[in-house]
Amino acid sequence: MALHGETPTRSFVEALRAPHPTYSFEFFPPKDDDGEAVLWRTLADLEPLEPTFVSVTYGAGGANQDRTISITERIARETSMHPVGHLTVVGQSRAEIEHVLKQYAAAGVTDVLALRGDPQGGPRAPWQTHPEGMTHAVELVELAARIGGFRVGVDAFPEGHPDAASLDHDAEVLVAKADAGAEYAITQLFFRASDYFSLVDRVRALGSDLPIVPGIMPILNFGQVARMAELSGAAMPAEVLEQIEPIQDDKTAVRAKGIELATQLCRDLLAGGAPGLHFMTLNRSKATREIFETLRSESLI
């Protein structure tokens, strides 16, 4: 573990800049002990794939923060996987956020993903800043950089953040995070490779070489993914809808088509030079493993 104020080994970020693509997995904090047991079985299933890193999100509005931290710490202590600790500014004072960073550091977690997070009232609710807190993710990046000992990642939005004035402004915000110390970005879910590459082009046009890792979520449950896409500002493209809507009541068919579409999206992203793939697992391993094994059989990862 890096000592307080030191810079951790750079192999993680170097992997994102290497020719061979990385792959990583994202999980969410379960609401109860039964859900946590499912998560640990999923982690055990995916550990043999040797991901570059794994991450555990906060719940909506910053919920389940304590469980997120404890799971991330346990991954660091008890598995061979490299954890990235999520961190948001929602409903927390600056002092409370500093405490979380120190908890991560004490557990040997040297990577954090710095996010503003959704408002406590829901993704479309008005933002309310904690009286002693922060408003923007860039402030969180600056805080982690000031404390030292962390590599910091941020989120990115291929179709623009819902609150962004324009796609160009959204790219400027992402570059500002990089200038503040962020070393990589992971995108929200999206469905068209062209949206991802357009974001990369906008960021490169601003002079930034920030690695941007695409976030992948296969459509296994049409209604669930459609809601998540809407909340994150992603559009469900017509070419996807026309394949999924006619079969949306057939769960088996939706799952098969969703995996097919996600696998092709991964192929397109890797062919276009994406530095890796970040799979949003929804705490289940089977679909992620199926996509992974197909890509590995094709020597793509």
Report the catalytic residues: 26
For 152, phi then psi, to 5°, come to -120, 130
Query: Contact, 220 vs 189, CB < 8 A?
Result: no
Q: Where are the beta strands (DSSP E) in 106-179?
A: 111-115, 151-156
Give the whole-angstrom CA distance, residue 179 versus residue 167: 19
Judged by DSSP in three states, 30 sits in coil
Distance CA 300, CA 90 (A): 38
* Single-letter residue type at 219: I
DSSP 64: T
- Cβ proximity of 270 and 301 under 8 Å: yes
Judged on CB neighbours under 10 Å (0-12, 13-18, 19+), 74 is middle
Q: What Å distances lie between residue 168 and 5, 190, 207, CA to CA?
A: 34, 18, 13
* 174 contacts 203 by C-beta, under 8 angstroms: yes
Q: Which residues pair with 212 in a beta bridge?
A: 185
Give the Å distances, CA to CA, from 2 to 52, 65, 103, 224, 249. 19, 24, 13, 40, 51
